Structure 1
Amino acid sequence: MLTAEQALDRLKKGNQRFVENIEQNETLANHAPRAELVQEQKPIAIILGCSDARVPAELVFTQGLGDLFVIRVAGNIVSPSQIGSVEFAAAMFGTPLVVVLGHTQCGAVTATLSELQQPTENQSPNLQAIVKRVQPSVEKLLLTDLRHDHTALIREAVRANVHRSVRQLRRGSDILENLISDGSLTIVGAEYAIETGKVEFLEDSVQA
């Protein structure tokens, strides 16, 4: 099993290949032969990412079968089911790295800001649940001068949402806290730029 630092380095190099449009068909399809994955999996990283169709983690990091344990939900929000999924992979497989992967132009974040500025009548309670998860990350930004610059507001809101999800994972689970404390798990945030394909790790140092 790789260390968190080695896993993070592999993801960075994989994303660089993706940005440079280097063909990696063999890596994507055959990194681990399917027969080897029948009995077990040993993912190098857990990715909590957004459901946005433009951000498929395996492609973004040029990783193959069995390499990533991917959890996707609109707005890369953290709720009990997401925490439980991270706990499962970290404890069951010994995966050393969690990456909360947000992205530019996130629809869930944009929708939350719009809802806070101009509430929708009779909104679906299920959509409202997502808004309520994102809201604590972004509502304070509307009290700053960013409210006058939509582009900057969205940019900072996306990052604030990633940072909050990282904090929630680090502090919202005894299992994860114990793994972090004994050095078995690292949780970092990152932002994928839809415009360029590049992933920027918002917390580059491998720390708990």
Structure 2
Amino acid sequence: MRPVWRKALMGFTTAVSCTVGVAAYAASAPDFEGQRYYRLSTMFRGPKMSLDIVNGGEKTDTPRLASASGVSGQYWRIQPAGHGFWRLSTMFRGGSMCLEVITSGAQRGEAKLAPCTDFNGQLWRITEGELGYLRLSTRLHGPGMCLDVFNGGPDDNQPILLKCGGYTGQLWQIRPTDSYERD
């Protein structure tokens, strides 16, 4: 199923994003404190919708944007994985479950939490995007594929990896919280 597309910005920004899309992959991204938790949201849905984890049912461990609240599924740890890549896990499921991209079947390209491994679909590059937002791509798929969200349908607000473009669902805000992992 393909998401209903929406354009990020008017022509100027779209042209600029196409021009800098590949170059942005090599650009520096913010440095994340490995013990700190962060909240992720998109420009498309705004800061009142945070990336969360479904708890229960057939979509358990599926990420989705949900109304921002204090639930532990909306607190994400971003830990260095080497060579400019990061692993993402939640307070809810702990550091042994990482965000990855499904590589086959009907859900190909969709994101889920899975046991952490050295799988390249769990290694995320976080680069500067337009207007102060960030883009997320995986080592497996490279800089031309960005984390976006479905707009409508049964998978509404679920992340999916799609070709990078001028779409606000691909522009992420990562905000630090006051919560830290206690070792």
TM range (shorter): under 0.3
**TM-score (normalizing by structure 1):** 0.23
- Of the two, which has the highest radius of gyration? 1
Q: Which has the higher helix share?
A: 1
**TM-score (normalizing by structure 2):** 0.25
Q: Which has the higher strand share?
A: 2
